Amino acid sequence: MVTARITVNGKEASISPVAPHTTALDFLRERGLTGTKEGCAEGECGACSVLVARPGVNKPTDWVAVNACLVPVAALDGQEVVTSEGLATPGEPGTASTLHPVQEEMAVRGGSQCGYCTPGFICSMAAEYYRPGRCAHADSEGDAEHGPNGFDLHALSGNLCRCTGYRPIRDAAYAVGDPAEDDPLARRREQAPPAPVATEYTQDGRTFLRKDTLAETLRVLSERPDAVLVAGSTDWGVEVNIRSRRADCVVALDRLSELRELSVESDHIEIGAALTLTEIERRLDGEVPLLAELFPQFASRLIRNSATLGGNLGTGSPIGDSPPVLLALEASVVLAHADGEREVPLADYFTGYRQSVRRPGELIRAVRVPLPLSRVTAFHKIAKRRFDDISSVAVAFALDIEDGIVRKARIGLGGVAATPIRARAAEEALEGRPWSAETTEAAAALLQAEGTPMSDHRASAGYRSAMLGQSLLKLYAQTTEAVSS
């Protein structure tokens, strides 16, 4: 057994003897770092948020906040973690420690009441505090979701507080300044991130495995068809915690360089399946407007810091948010196997409820989005809560409208059938017709009849259907209002 080691608040520790499914949260708490809390164990509340040093987008290293309740501690082998306890600077013996600027603002502005959510907020806030390029121009006023200091409120979208009503937390977030020159975590960003290490951690017959290369990983998959793949673990972590699933062998993909490339070619963009959504969002920087519209509505920043496209397609959930968008973009998936690669259009990928054409031993290496992109795009996610909620239905549009005529229409739907689907009837009803109230109303009626939505705790079937049609009417209203104003 190669033992796995992790650096927490500057101190290195071995993770053994915990079971391989043990979450980082439980590991930290068992070591007495009880500042990191469990509020839900499914990535919803952020009470477990911790900072992890990851390969940066604009600097060598980023401090990224993640849900410690979802990530297995074994997945952090060789990595550096900072918790709320590690952010304050300890004082000389007998004197109080000095608060981190984020802690200071939260404390003095009444950002904590019961305090249970607070350490998690602190870590999420610290990650945004250290985000390179956060700082806005001194004269900036901010907007509804940004402070004058450039603080993006979405950084806290994965943290729940039941006590404060959030106003003082927002004030604290908007009050933090820039990291000082000698701030150790700020300086850490200038150094290389912790290198990926191969991990083979076994306890009681169960193994957590991370290989160095894609080839080795594929070989393992051929030998162990029972292995569970994990990337960000935002779905798998929920399975482990909530549905008590245990796997004999878990194979990590999230640090494989072959799955972490993003390239823009002349006729397509290729996005590595193990890039996190945050990385994709920041690296594409609006290049694909439909994806740019998707990301802020996809879970929370905390989840997006870990979640991957490979995972979102890998679970095959009919309410996943990326499939409708990728269907509208006519994307395909690149499947890798020890025997070779193949490319499958996403529209042909799903075969049934949580089922796909993916064969045993195969994994998703990348997603390809063909170029050029349609000009008129929109993503409408219907949910109860604006931030961080699961879709009742989701609709993505990609339309080419030339001289007032719809030349091409691609519509992806989630939440209306056992798999994500294309709304072919509505697409046909739009194509070749003028982009008008009449056309959209006719197409909306067809759209509304797509799939077989169900009634559940999220929404009634009637509402789901209605929203399909409404989303097209809304898009039409938006495009015409935009033109007229």
Partner 1 sequence: MSHLSERPEKPVVGVAMPHESAFLHVTGTALYTDDLVYRTRDVLHAYPVQVMKPRGRITALRTEPALAVPGVVRVLTGADVPGVNDAGMKHDEPLFPDEVMFYGHAVAWVLGETLEAARLGAEAVEVELDEQPAVITLREAIEAESFHGARPVMTTGDVDAGFADSAHVFSGEFQFSDQEHFYLETHAALAYIDEAEQVFIQSSTQHPSETQEIVAHVLGLHSHEVTVQCLRMGGGFGGKEMQPHGFAAVAALGAKLTGRPVRVRLNRTQDLTMSGKRHGFHAEWRIGFDADGRIQALDATLTADGGWSLDLSEPVTARALCHIDNTYWIPNARVAGRIAKTNKVSNTAFRGFGGPQGMLVIEDILGRCAPLLGLDPAELRERNFYRPGRGQTTPYGQLVSQPERISAVWRQVEDNGGLAERRREIAAFNAAHPNTKRALAITGIKFGISFNLTAFNQAGALVLIYKDGSVLINHGGTEMGQGLHTKMLQVAATTLGIPLHKVRLAPTRTDKVPNTSATAASSGADLNGGAVKNACEQLRARLVQVAASQLGSNASDVRIVEGVARTLGSDQELAWDDLVRTAYFQRVQLSASGYYRTEGLHWDAKTFRGSPFKYFSYGAAAAEVEVDGFTGAYRIRRVDIVHDVGDSLSPMIDIGQVEGGFVQGAGWLTLEDMRWDVSDGPNRGRLLTQAASTYKLPSFSEMPEEFNVTLMENATEEGAVYGSKAVGEPPLMLAFCVREALRQAAAAFGPSGISVDLAAPATPEAVYWAIQAARQAEAPGTGAAVNGHAANGRIPIDTRALSGV
Ligand X SMILES: Cc1cc2nc3c(=O)[nH]c(=O)nc-3n(C[C@H](O)[C@H](O)[C@H](O)COP(=O)(O)OP(=O)(O)OC[C@H]3O[C@@H](n4cnc5c(N)ncnc54)[C@H](O)[C@@H]3O)c2cc1C
| Binding flags for partner 1, 116-145, as an x/- string (CB under 8 A) | xxxx--x---------------------x-
Q: Which residue is nearest to ligand X (CB)?
A: 311
Q: How many CB atoms lie within 10 A of CB 58?
A: 11
| Binders of partner 1 in range 386-425 (CB under 8 A) | 386-390, 392
For residue 445, state whether it binds partner 1 (rule: CB under 8 A): no
Bridge partner residues of 251 (DSSP) = 209, 229
> Which partner from the list partner 1, ligand FES, ligand X, none does 53 bind, CB cut-off 5 to 8 Å by kind?
none
For residue 321, state whether it binds partner 1 (rule: CB under 8 A): no
Task: Tell me how far apart the alpha carbons of residues 332 and 346 are, in angstroms, rounded to a whole number.
Answer: 5
| Binders of ligand FES in range 347-406 (CB under 6 A) | none
CA distances, 292 to each of 261, 281, 476 (Å): 18, 7, 20
CB of 64 closer than 8 Å to CB of 51? yes
For residue 456, state whether it binds partner 1 (rule: CB under 8 A): yes
For residue 163, state whether it binds ligand FES (rule: CB under 6 A): yes
Task: Tell me how far apart the alpha carbons of residues 419 and 81 are, in angstroms, rounded to a whole number.
Answer: 37
> Which partner from the list ligand X, partner 1, ligand FES, none does 235 bind, CB cut-off 5 to 8 Å by kind?
ligand X
Minimum distance from CB of 270 to partner 1 (Å)? 32
Minimum distance from CB of 379 to partner 1 (Å)? 13
Given candidates 58, 97, 213, 257, which one binds partner 1 under the rule CB under 8 A? 97
Sort strands 228-230 and 199-203 into parallel, antiparallel or unpaired. Answer: unpaired
- Picking from 111, 144, 400, the residue whose alpha carbon sits closest to that of residue 296 is 144
Our measurement of the distance from residue 445's CA atom to the centroid of its chain's CA atoms, rounded to an integer in Å, reads 33
Dihedral angle computed from the Cα positions of residues 218, 222, 224 and 225, in that order, rounded to the nearest 10 degrees: 110
Q: Calculate helix-pair angle for 101-108, 118-129, nearest 10 degrees.
A: 130
- Looking at 52-60, 111-119, 266-274, 309-317, which segment touches ligand FES (CB under 6 A)? 111-119
Matching residue, tokens 């759209």:
447
Q: Can you tell me whether residue 439 is helix, strand or coil? A: helix
Binding residues vs ligand X (CB under 6 A) = 42-44, 228-236, 238, 253, 273-274, 298-299, 303, 306-308, 310-312, 314-315, 320-322, 363-364, 390
For residue 115, state whether it binds partner 1 (rule: CB under 8 A): yes
Q: How many CB atoms lie within 10 A of CB 89?
A: 11
> Which partner from the list ligand FES, partner 1, ligand X, none does 69 bind, CB cut-off 5 to 8 Å by kind?
ligand FES
CA distances, 69 to each of 4, 36, 215, 238, 343 (Å): 18, 9, 30, 9, 34
Is 10 or 110 the residue whose CB approaches partner 1 more closely? 110
> Which partner from the list ligand FES, partner 1, ligand X, none does 463 bind, CB cut-off 5 to 8 Å by kind?
partner 1
> Which partner from the list ligand FES, partner 1, ligand X, none does 299 bind, CB cut-off 5 to 8 Å by kind?
ligand X
Minimum distance from CB of 233 to ligand X (Å)? 5
- The residue ranges of DSSP E strands in 320-472, in sequence order, are 332-337, 340-345, 350-352, 355-356, 363-370, 376-382, 393-402, 405-414, 421-422
For residue 39, state whether it binds ligand FES (rule: CB under 6 A): yes
Given candidates 5, 19, 38, 433, which one binds ligand FES under the rule CB under 6 A? 38
| Binding flags for partner 1, 235-264, as an x/- string (CB under 8 A) | ---x--xx-x--------------------
Task: Tell me how far apart the alpha carbons of residues 347 and 424 are, in angstroms, rounded to a whole number.
Answer: 11
> Which partner from the list ligand FES, partner 1, ligand X, none does 262 bind, CB cut-off 5 to 8 Å by kind?
none
Task: Tell me how far apart the alpha carbons of residues 275 and 110 are, in angstroms, rounded to a whole number.
Answer: 37
Is 73 or 409 the residue whose CB approaches ligand X more closely? 73
Q: Can you tell me whether residue 410 is helix, strand or coil? A: strand
Q: Which residues bind ligand FES (CB under 6 A)?
A: 38-41, 43-48, 67, 69, 112-118, 161-164
